[in-house]
Amino acid sequence: MQRLRLKADGRIVELRDGQEFPLAPDALTAQIDGATPAVRDLRRRARLTQQEFAARLGVPVETIRNWEQGKRAPRGPARALLAVIAHAPDTVFAALAKS
């Protein structure tokens, strides 16, 4: 069982042997900081429309559009959730569907 921790800056780290290891590679984290390509790429890799992606995340479709167009950037929990989706999308979507 993985032990994960959400950091104040939105990063998610895995806890192993008392040490923290980034869940997503640094390159992916940098993409999420830039937001525009990362959100669109994550959604396309999941083969979802903006409406479907928004529904699965529980956010308005306008939020997804703003992220993809670079008008806004995901922050805090949303940024962390996107990092986890990049790492294990099927697991995240299955967990979100149960809630």
The Cβ-side half-sphere exposure at 58, using a 13 Å CA radius, reads 10
From CA 12, how far away is CA 30, in angstroms rounded? 13
Domain that holds residue 37: 4-98
Q: CATH number, domain at 18?
A: 1.10.260.40
pLDDT value at residue 32: 46
- How far apart (Å, rounded) are the C-alpha atoms in residues 24 and 36? 17
Rounded to the nearest integer, the mean pLDDT of the chain is 82
The model scores a pTM over 0.75: no
Tell me: the pLDDT tens digits for 14-51? 888 888 888 755 444 444 444 445 899 999 999 999 99
36 neighbors 67 (Cβ within 8 angstroms)? yes
The total number of structural domains that make up the chain: 1
End-to-end CA distance of the chain: 20
